[in-house]
Amino acid sequence: MTDTIRPDSIADFNAVGRTTGTKADLAGMEFLIHCPPDLPPRSRIVSLCGITDWGDGASPQKDGWFISDFYLFHHLLRPRDPLSTNQIWLTSESPDDLVRKYTEYAHGDPHGERRVVLETQLLDEISSAGNLRVVARKDLLERFLNTVREQALIAERQSEQLVIMIFGHGDAVTSGVLVGGEGDSESAPRLFMRNISRLLPSDLSSRYLNVTGIAAAGEEKESHSWPVSRSIGRASGSLAASAILASLIKVEDEVSQELEEISPHPTYIEFSHSIFKTIKAMHFFGEEQRIHFSAEDDEWEMNYQSRLGLPLASYKTRWESLREIPATAPSEGDVGEALLPRTGNARQCGRLQVLAREYFAANPGPDNAGPNVAFHNALRFILSGRTDFAKEELSKLFDIVTYRLGSMHEADYLRTQMEIEFPSIFDVDIYEWKKANWPEFTAQDRAEKEHIQSKIRRLIQQRRLLTHPIGGGLSYTKPVNYLALALLESGLPWEEIDNRIKNAGLQKVAWYRSVYKAWRGKGVVKDEAVITRRRAFLETVKRMGWKITERNESW
């Protein structure tokens, strides 16, 4: 047992400071600890689950792995004193309703130890803890911020540590965390790191929140759930949640206040979606092809990294008190594809099967990467022959798969435009490529290459080289990672890499023009709904003082 701990001394532990937002802020610094890995006795917890069940989003087959994380920690960290008031757990979904609808939630490795963290038998324990607060979806973010403010003042007054845990998806456009709301991810309220830091007394902040974000990842990595058990499509909790007790998404590059305000603004969303809906109505192939809009922003990657094993040294007894689920054997290949009758939804599912086969053949990334879990599950159900999907869900799947395929095509096109010799994006599995081509490098050399790749990736994002579409779902990171890897392996000096990215960015206007013409842009911008929402958006731009430059639609 030690009296102090140095974050930079722990392998694979990525703690970031609040000055530059990097690990350099904490290099050599020591922090007082009590009984690791348990929480200090004098601490209070505010925990938030941002996932809602809108559109069955809390299903174990979709984003339910966040629910699994949330209730795992609720069980492991429950106070020894049943009358304790030092923990508050906030969610918009009643555990009773979730159990009634989905029966149970599991956490762990489907092919190893896995236990049920939420089921009927656990409801009394959850209720008796007296610390769960079920809040209306529309009020969840405001309630969380008010609770943090209240608990921070109490922690300061009583010399306690404040531990904040947030379980939710990151937003690719604004680098915020999606919290509650009555709608899809694009209209959900966003939580930003600054929202929390502004609520904390300066004394508490300096003493207890030197580490503003403890991410289960190094720079620009995705979170991963446990490998999906394909027989039932469950994600069974994230690897990130298995490694740390508190994590906040850390924004690597500061997003301007202006962009944070514009992208989620109702007038912007309504305007952009009116264009999308008009195109789908005008064009027979609207659901099969993907339109790229000129309103784009940086690709953003969730700052997580794979973690193996649960930190259960102090919680083994509590973990083992949960009901165990028998392990399943690893699946050989993908779920078998079934022929579909060409009636009703089956016809749309058949079209999706074609796209899904093309998508999976393109090495799109692991099933258990955070943005892939729900989407890959749904596509594999399509390939297995299921047709009982709502029309809206099928439409959304079309939008996402065509966006991802289109984004990969765009990245391949940009690579050729930059005259980089490298295999096609459709033939490259990034993880396997590095594994096959970097084995001779030392750990230090690999770390240096990863660092340079991150710099290139950020440059690509800053220049907005890849188009961010409307309605494409959670961020898809393979295209930007692929371009960064191709440029890294080109052997070009940094100045030349910078120059080629810059020149490729300057050619984007030509790309927009070709899309505008191909998708009958003149007819789209003359649609009454588009005109109305465009006017509302421009009035908002003027009122808010945003610096927006309109493109000329007379191409």
Residue 313, domain member (yes or no)? yes
Per-residue pLDDT tens over the stretch 1-39: 233 444 454 443 344 444 455 555 545 443 333 222 346
Mark whether 319 and 414 lie in a shared domain.
no
Mark whether 240 and 385 lie in a shared domain.
no
Find how far residue 419's CA is from the centre of its chain: 32
Mark whether 164 and 96 lie in a shared domain.
yes
Section 293-316 average pLDDT: 30
Winning range, highest mean pLDDT, from 45-59, 68-82, 206-220, 366-380: 45-59
Q: Which residue has the higher pLDDT, 63 or 501?
A: 501
For residue 374, the tally of other CB atoms under 10 A from its CB is: 24
Q: Which residue has the higher pLDDT, 65 or 555?
A: 65
Mark whether 429 and 374 lie in a shared domain.
yes
Give the CA-trace dihedral at 526, 531, 533, 536, to 10 degrees. Answer: 160
Residue 373, domain member (yes or no)? yes
Mark whether 87 and 203 lie in a shared domain.
yes
Per-residue confidence band for 85, with pLDDT thresholds at 50, 70 and 90: confident
Residue 548's pLDDT is 60
Q: Which residue has the higher pLDDT, 80 or 67?
A: 67
Residue 186, domain member (yes or no)? yes
Per the structure, the count of domains in the chain is 2
Find how far residue 369's CA is from the centre of its chain: 9
Per-residue pLDDT tens over the stretch 213-268: 334 444 455 665 544 443 333 332 222 222 222 222 222 233 344 445 555 556 55
Mark whether 62 and 205 lie in a shared domain.
yes
Residue 86, domain member (yes or no)? yes
Residue 533, domain member (yes or no)? no
Identify the weakest region by mean pLDDT among 74-88, 187-201, 446-460.
Answer: 187-201
How confident is the prediction for the chain on average, in pLDDT?
Answer: 69
The conformational region for residue 296 under phi > 0 = left, psi -120 to 50 = alpha, else beta, is beta
Mark whether 25 and 128 lie in a shared domain.
yes
Section 87-110 average pLDDT: 91
Per-residue confidence band for 446, with pLDDT thresholds at 50, 70 and 90: confident
Section 539-550 average pLDDT: 63
Q: Which domain holds residue 399?
A: 333-518
The answer to whether residues 191 and 177 touch, using CB atoms and an 8 Å cutoff, is yes
Section 373-395 average pLDDT: 86
Identify the weakest region by mean pLDDT among 59-73, 354-368, 511-525.
Answer: 511-525
Cα maximum dimension of the chain: 71
Residue 554, domain member (yes or no)? no
Per-residue pLDDT tens over the stretch 320-378: 788 888 876 655 443 434 433 334 466 677 778 878 888 999 999 888 787 888 899 99
Residue 292's pLDDT is 23
Using a pLDDT cut of 90, give the percent of the chain over it. 23
Mark whether 240 and 204 lie in a shared domain.
yes
Residue 469, domain member (yes or no)? yes
Q: Which residue has the higher pLDDT, 515 or 9?
A: 515
Mark whether 312 and 398 lie in a shared domain.
no
Residue with tokens 């921070």: 152
Mark whether 317 and 338 lie in a shared domain.
no
Which DSSP string corresponds to 350-377?
HHHHHHHHHHHHT----TTBGGGHHHHH
Find how far residue 74's CA is from the centre of its chain: 22
pLDDT of 386 > 80? The answer is yes
Per-residue pLDDT tens over the stretch 412-434: 888 988 999 999 999 999 988 99
Mark whether 58 and 38 lie in a shared domain.
yes
Mark whether 321 and 338 lie in a shared domain.
no
Alpha-helix runs per DSSP H in 112-209: 123-129, 140-157, 193-197, 202-208
The answer to whether residues 115 and 108 touch, using CB atoms and an 8 Å cutoff, is yes
Residue 550, domain member (yes or no)? no
Per-residue pLDDT tens over the stretch 278-292: 555 544 333 322 222
Which DSSP string corresponds to 119-141?
SGGGHHHHHHH--EEE--GGGHH
Residue 455's pLDDT is 93
